Structure 1
Amino acid sequence: MERSPTAASVVVPAHNESAGLRGNLTALLDGVPTGTFDVVVVCNGCTDDTATVARSVPGVRVIETESASKALAVELGNAATSIFPRIHLDADVRLPGPDALRLVRAVAEAGVHAAGPSRDVPVDSSSWPVRAYYRVWENLPNVRSGLFGRGAFCLSEEGQRRVDAQTRLMNDDLMVSEAFAPEERRIVSHTSVVVRPPGTAADLIRRRTRVATGNHQADQHAARHASTSLSDLIKLGLRQPSVGLRVPVFLTITVIARRLARRAVRAGDYTTWLRDESSRA
């Protein structure tokens, strides 16, 4: 395939992601001309062969750091490339190359500085509480319109400057989403990123505990962020009764996660990453 002018850079922080990384990088590079993306994988604190796997994919540059810090990995990746627009991609999600290009085109439009893909959350293999939770979560208005929870977003050069000026917080994608007014960000139709959900309720609670901890940190910094109230859930249940039947499961998991988050909050621990291994390949 003929080499193409570089359309965007892609920064991929990766911590022990060897199981699914090759497939995700291959999906990103397939279906687009060689050289379309300047891909930088930043292996942070890895104890497996993530770096070796990344280097095995043609067209990928690899940086390694001993620190298991996603924030540092993103900083190193940003410093390693000067190309815009810039896609930030989690190592455990799959974004096809043609869809990545659609995100790039979106931020080229006047006034649009951030774009994200539509989510594909395949819950068929998850337990029923997980399926019930995501049935509610995916129908929340702020979840449908926000950039967070997608594992991928694209920023214009101005968008990246705005994000760089923010305080680094645990819930990084939520803060990125809230850095832009609704008219400045876009969820691009006819794109899809596969975000694998937890397999069990226990795994889901670990993931939501991390989110609850990060939300508390954002509150401490007076950072504006999307939230869901009880009235939002009631309105959703009235509009969609089949979804409303699952609201009690959603509320139960949310309450448990918030209570478990208190320990980290009391300790001021906003760096421990409660990782959900069940969603890895």
Structure 2
Amino acid sequence: MTDIDLSVIIPAHDEEAWIDRCLSALLAQVGETGAVEILVVANACRDRTVSLAEGYAPQAAARGWTLRVLDLPQGGKILALNAGDQAATGRSRVYLDADIACDPALLAQVRAALAVALPRYATGTLAVAPARSWVTRAYASVWRRLPFVRGGAVGAGLFAVNRAGRSRWGAFPPVISDDTFVRLNFAPDERIEVPARYHWPMVEGFANLVRVRRRQDAGVAELRGLYPALFANEAKARLTPGDLLRLALRVPLGFVVYLLVHIAVRLRPPAAGWTRGR
């Protein structure tokens, strides 16, 4: 049996609108990716996610890869991540949201970044996908300029670890923010952002932006309570008054929308539990 270099684990719940885009981009990868297995972990899907994903198996086989669909009756992203991990055989693991489209060189660059004996975390360069609503476009114009995002290795929707890195934790714990949990298991000098981009869709509309921002805040607060020691690895650049002034001058409409979302989030406590990110 061929050794698998990369296992790509894709949790998917009712993703028929996105799974074609995601898998087409994966199967269009170029460069030295090595042997790749793709595991689509469908969880409590009520749409065509399973059948659409299964339709890509011949295309994967044609390039010497494997694609399997795990059809779970129970829902939940953490459940799906753990089921994917149990089924995966690759030396390195790539965890990919089903609404992400990767640039063609991404897997090869991630594989190269992880091809060391020491623990490593890798991700691509995050690019916010074009939004349909003006509110989301305005919000994104500020968000992508935030120090945290510009600092790199954000890992929202796409992160990967090598075998030594995966040994940092056991099963995924039942937390809201799995991507933050994994990122904080690595020191800044262990986290790598490769040049190839991945395209991450932001939620559409003011109410959804507020809802997701509440979820993000709740996820960070939960991790601070459960795993306070992990925050020694944060190294997150703070948003200074000077940063705010520059943003207000450069993207005034976006700054107003970003500020209004921030205020709306503070008016109500964060929602408990996991919430879809779009």
Structure-2-length-normalised TM-score: 0.83
- Aligned-partner SS, 2:45: coil
For residues 34 and 153 of structure 1, the distance between their equivalents in structure 2, rounded to whole angstroms, comes to: 16
Match for residue 203 of structure 2 among 195, 198, 201: 198
Aligned residues: 264
Query: Is the 8 Å Cα contact of residues 118 and 165 (structure 2) preserved in structure 1?
Result: no
**Partner of residue 64, structure 2:** none
| Percent of residue pairs identical | 30
The Cα shift of 1:31 comes to: 3.7
For residues 26 and 101 of structure 2, the distance between their equivalents in structure 1, rounded to whole angstroms, comes to: 7
Summarize deviations over 1:127-159 as a string: whole Å, max 9, x none: 1x3233222222222223354453111101111
Residue 252 (structure 1) aligned with residue 260 (structure 2): yes
Structure 1 alignment gaps of length 5 or more: 277-281
Residue 63 (structure 1) aligned with residue 62 (structure 2): no
Structure 2 alignment gaps of length 5 or more: 61-66
For residues 259 and 241 of structure 2, the distance between their equivalents in structure 1, rounded to whole angstroms, comes to: 11
Residue 215 (structure 1) aligned with residue 220 (structure 2): yes
Query: Is the 8 Å Cα contact of residues 147 and 176 (structure 1) preserved in structure 2?
Result: no
Match for residue 17 of structure 1 among 15, 18, 23: 15
Residue 144 (structure 1) aligned with residue 150 (structure 2): yes
For residues 80 and 161 of structure 1, the distance between their equivalents in structure 2, rounded to whole angstroms, comes to: 16
For residues 77 and 41 of structure 1, the distance between their equivalents in structure 2, rounded to whole angstroms, comes to: 8
Instruction: Give the letter for the 1:101 counterpart.
Output: A
Summarize deviations over 1:48-100 as a string: whole Å, max 9, x none: 12111111112310111121110010000000012111111101111145311
- The verdict on how the C-alpha distance between 1:243 and 1:160 changes in structure 2, with shifts beyond 3 A counting, is farther
The Cα shift of 1:109 comes to: 4.2
Query: Is the 8 Å Cα contact of residues 92 and 162 (structure 2) preserved in structure 1?
Result: yes
Residue 104 (structure 1) aligned with residue 107 (structure 2): no
Query: Is the 8 Å Cα contact of residues 90 and 151 (structure 1) preserved in structure 2?
Result: yes
Summarize deviations over 1:162-181 as a string: whole Å, max 9, x none: 14377442111111111111
Equivalent positions of 1:31-70 (< 5 A) are 31-32=29-30, 36-58=35-57, 59=60, 60-70=67-77
Match for residue 179 of structure 1 among 171, 185, 196: 185
The Cα shift of 1:47 comes to: 0.9
Instruction: Give the letter for the 2:263 counterpart.
Output: V
**Partner of residue 273, structure 2:** 270
For residues 159 and 78 of structure 1, the distance between their equivalents in structure 2, rounded to whole angstroms, comes to: 14
Instruction: Give the letter for the 2:46 counterpart.
Output: T
Instruction: Give the letter for the 1:46 counterpart.
Output: C
Structure-1-length-normalised TM-score: 0.82
The Cα shift of 1:248 comes to: 4.1
**Partner of residue 242, structure 1:** 250
Instruction: Give the letter for the 1:151 counterpart.
Output: G
For residues 52 and 39 of structure 1, the distance between their equivalents in structure 2, rounded to whole angstroms, comes to: 15
**Partner of residue 279, structure 1:** none
Q: CA RMSD in A?
A: 2.8
The Cα shift of 1:193 comes to: 0.6
For residues 19 and 40 of structure 1, the distance between their equivalents in structure 2, rounded to whole angstroms, comes to: 18
Instruction: Give the letter for the 2:92 counterpart.
Output: P
Structure 1 runs (4+) deviating above 6 angstroms are none
For residues 146 and 258 of structure 1, the distance between their equivalents in structure 2, rounded to whole angstroms, comes to: 27
Query: Is the 8 Å Cα contact of residues 3 and 90 (structure 2) preserved in structure 1?
Result: no
- The verdict on how the C-alpha distance between 1:195 and 1:275 changes in structure 2, with shifts beyond 3 A counting, is closer
